[in-house]
Structure 1
Amino acid sequence: MHAMQYEITLPADYDMGVIRHRVESKGHLLDEFPGLGFKAYLMRERGKAGSPVNQYAPFYLWNTAEGMNSFLWGPGFQGLVDDFGRPVVQNWTVLAYEEGGAPGAVPRTAVRHRRPIPPSARLPELADELAVEARRLAQQHGAVCAVTAVDPRTWEAVHFSLWEHEAPAITGDVFQVLHLSTPEREKLPSGRQW
Structure 2
Amino acid sequence: MHALQYELTLPADYDTGIVRDRVARVGHLLDDWDGLGIKAYLLRERGVHGSPVNQYAPFYLWNTVEGMNRFLWGGPFQGLVNDFGRPAARQWTGLGYEEGTAAGAPAAFAVRRREPVPDGVEFAELMADVVRQTRRTADEDGAVLAAAAVDPGRWELVRFSLWAHDAPKAEGDVFQVLHLSAPGRHRLPPGRQW
Place the TM-score, normalised by the shorter chain, in its bin: over 0.9
- The residue identity in structure 2 corresponding to 1:43 is L
Q: How big is each residue's C-alpha offset from its partner over 1:140-184, in whole Å with a ceiling of 9 and x where there is no partner? A: 000000001000001011110000000324320000000000111
Partner of 2:135: 135
Partner of 1:102: 102
Distance 2:50 2:63 in 1: 32
Distance 1:169 1:38 in 2: 21
Residue pairs, 1:4-19, within 5 angstroms: 4-19=4-19
- Where structure 2 has 5 or more consecutive residues not aligned to the other structure, the ranges are none
Distance 1:121 1:154 in 2: 15
Distance 2:12 2:49 in 1: 15
- The residue identity in structure 2 corresponding to 1:138 is A
Partner of 1:168: 168
Residue pairs, 1:3-152, within 5 angstroms: 3-152=3-152
Q: 1:135: Cα distance to partner?
A: 0.2
Partner of 2:187: 187
Secondary structure at the aligned position of 1:119 is classed as coil
Q: 1:134: Cα distance to partner?
A: 0.6
Secondary structure at the aligned position of 1:51 is classed as coil
Q: How big is each residue's C-alpha offset from its partner over 1:71-104, in whole Å with a ceiling of 9 and x where there is no partner? A: 0001310100000000000100010000001111
Check whether the contact 1:133–1:148 (CA below 8 A) recurs between aligned residues. no
Check whether the contact 2:33–2:183 (CA below 8 A) recurs between aligned residues. yes
Secondary structure at the aligned position of 1:73 is classed as helix
Check whether the contact 1:109–1:166 (CA below 8 A) recurs between aligned residues. yes
- The residue identity in structure 2 corresponding to 1:187 is R
Distance 2:181 2:55 in 1: 19
- The residue identity in structure 1 corresponding to 2:70 is S
Q: How big is each residue's C-alpha offset from its partner over 1:36-65, in whole Å with a ceiling of 9 and x where there is no partner? A: 000000000000000000000000000000
* TM-score normalised by structure 1 residue count: 0.98
Check whether the contact 1:40–1:59 (CA below 8 A) recurs between aligned residues. yes
- How high is the sequence identity, in percent, across the aligned residues? 63
Q: CA RMSD in A?
A: 0.7
The answer to whether the aligner puts 1:157 opposite 2:157 as a matched pair is yes
Aligned pairs, number? 194
Check whether the contact 1:167–1:174 (CA below 8 A) recurs between aligned residues. no
Distance 1:94 1:15 in 2: 34
